[in-house]
Amino acid sequence: MKYCASLLLLLVMADAHANGQTPPDKRQPEKGDDVIKVTTNLVQVDAVVTDKEGRPVTNLTAADFELVENAQLRAITEFSYISLRPEDTGREPNSIARKGETTANRSGPPRTLHAIRRETVRRAIAIVVDDVGLSAESTARLRSALERFVQERTQSTDLIAVIRASGGPGAMQQFTSNRAQVLATIKGLTWYQMGRGRMSATESWNPLDNNEDGIELKGYSANRPADLSGKEFFGGSLGALGFVIQGLSSFPGRKSLVLVSDNLPVTSREALAAGVTRALDKLIEQANQHSIVISTIDARGMQKPGPTADDGQHNLAANQINTRTRERRLKFNVQSDGLNYLAAQTGGIFVHSNNDLTDALRRVVDGELGYYLLAYRPDDLDDETARARTFKVRLRVNRPGLEVRTRNAFHRTKLTREVDGPPKGKDDLLREALVSPFVTEGVRLKMTGLFTGGSQVKILLHVDARDLAFVKSADDIYNGSLDIVAVAFDDNGKPVRQVARTQTLRVPSAAYEHLLRDGVVYSMTVPIQSPGGYQLRLALRDGTSGRLGSDSQFVEVPDAKKTRLTVSGFAVQRIEPEVGLQHAPEMQRTSVEGPGGDGARRGLAVRRFDAGDLLTYSYLIYGARRNSRTDPPSLLTQIRLFCGDTEVFTGRVSSVDVSQESSSGGIVAQGNLRLGTGLTAGEYFIQVIVTDKLAAVGKQVSDQWLDFEIVK
């Protein structure tokens, strides 16, 4: 097996290229792909209408709107309402567990554990956490609010990313429909001590901040020069927004960006001197060009400007305290100017003075469950004029008591006569498949990532051989090759490890039909040194036809040194009748490279079973509590089985045998499950739940999901 040197270089420039614009597609766009589109004879405008309580209004007609461009009333030629509400599946939304229950044993299955198809996305939601501008107080409250929001308020068709402003340009790699990955990112949010935020949400008084009269707060003296020491921090916040906007630009469906911060003071003297306002206007222009709505949340909530216990009031007279109180109120308002400005210019919502951050997030996202799409015909323009034209549009609603939200300007995004750019090379296409959050199905494949202990993750790969091109040689051998690249991205979207290989396939004629039927099973390992959550992505190229395939999966590498309960390495396979139950406990965690067979179909990589099959499963448990070094852990386990959203089996709660331990320090747990003979063919999810009876409340339960298929 040889390494493909050219493929190893793919990820070196991945972050730089991932944010580039996609060349215009000659195909007709699907409904909802571009909500703002300007051609030479049509301008489309999107808008959201709400009542006084902020609830969406969905029953308006074109006659209820007035559209004005360049002081001229324009006739609305096309009108529709695009609903993004989820279909009613009859499934209870995720909710906080009731007394005696846990979130794990109340939650339904994930929509998928792998990359999703582009056409299934209804909303792309990017939550940018401006940790550079958050205080320690706001960071802690936001972390709890985000966890609850993701568990309770997101839809299965949402593509979500939680992105730290200090994390760098890895936005594209963080979009996922897997809630487990999003929650792992949220749990890793910490206060950025070198940023603009301080310990508390409001700046405390300090005797060193006053002049000789003791009446001025730092930053408000007309005689003092502007302090540009925080210039790079403004750039960190705005730079993260720029990366996310570029990443969202190629996404389908409604695109929503939520910025959460304590302060973005674009009108302060420091910000003006640093050119922050100009940079912000440029970001707004880019967002409007790509139909991205930016909503903002002031994480400080409702704060009082008066004296607090943290304020230093030594030797301050009453008039000095009053002055400082007024100036703190002024500074509090100035710090949110940028948040208000961003939302107003892009058609978003600015939520402030709300101490319930979960409710603030709900208001923002629920406000994007639908929108009106209006169109009008502007004056005749040639191509060159249309390219540079900015359309200033004002939209009004005739009905009283309603509020309309839309962006401040509309730009040309695509001309019907525009031609495609230069063709992309093979490596460019493979790189795009690798960094995209969407599945590529030129070659159908299924990837399973398993943490098997130590410092590595094993990838089990099944490839549909019917999508591969083989060349038959004179010696009656079918020849082919696969270029494979696997990359692990951390919770900032940065590639931390990559493995690239070129695999040669030689299949005798006698085995060729079996290969087409059962596919190719392949395994490889990706070294990972540090514990944490990783998005494992794999892209594959057929060396003969050039067709591409890709998949991704979230894998958590436990920290064996910490006492936080974690379930990892969940694997399932069929017990072959000729082997018998007495020989089943040692589950094989390796896969033979080459053509698969019936055993491969029922094995770890493919997991296609028949109703009535006897399955064996195993998993690793880390972080179990002990009363002492000599006392064993006290663990309980339970299995649940789902077909779609329907729970078809709930196993009994039983004790875990903790006698077997892996080389990496995890407890090896195993069990068996007989599939019911009445189960219908389809996609299934199996969940293992582990409860630590000795752990503290809130740290007692961990679970993991795995998908499989019943074929008959």
Q: Partners of 351 in the beta sheet?
A: 297
Q: What single-letter DSSP state applies at residue 172?
A: G
CB 480 within 8 A of CB 490: no
Dist. CA 307–CA 322, nearest whole Å: 9
Residue 685, amino acid: F
Amino acid making up residue 653: V
Residue 220: other Cβ atoms inside 10 A: 15
Question: Which residues does the chain have with pLDDT short of 50?
Answer: 1-40, 88-101, 210-233, 413-419, 579-600
Distance CA 524, CA 496 (A): 17
Q: At what angle do helices 231-248 and 276-289 cross, to 10 degrees?
A: 10
d(CA 707, CA 642): 9
Single-letter amino acid, residue 352: H
Give the pLDDT confidence score for residue 47 in this predicted structure.
92
The pTM of this model reads 0.71
Six token digits for residue 569: 């390495």
Average pLDDT, the chain: 77
Q: Which residues pair with 535 in a beta bridge?
A: 489, 554
Q: How many CB atoms lie within 10 A of CB 244?
A: 29
- Residue 654 in contact with residue 636, Cβ under 8 Å? yes
Residues 443-499: pLDDT tens digits?
999 999 988 877 889 999 999 999 999 999 999 999 999 999 999 988 777 888 999
Q: Can you give the pLDDT at residue 182? A: 87
Q: Give yes or no for a contact between 524 and 461, defined as CB atoms under 8 angstroms apart.
A: yes
571: nearest Cα among 424, 648, 460: 460
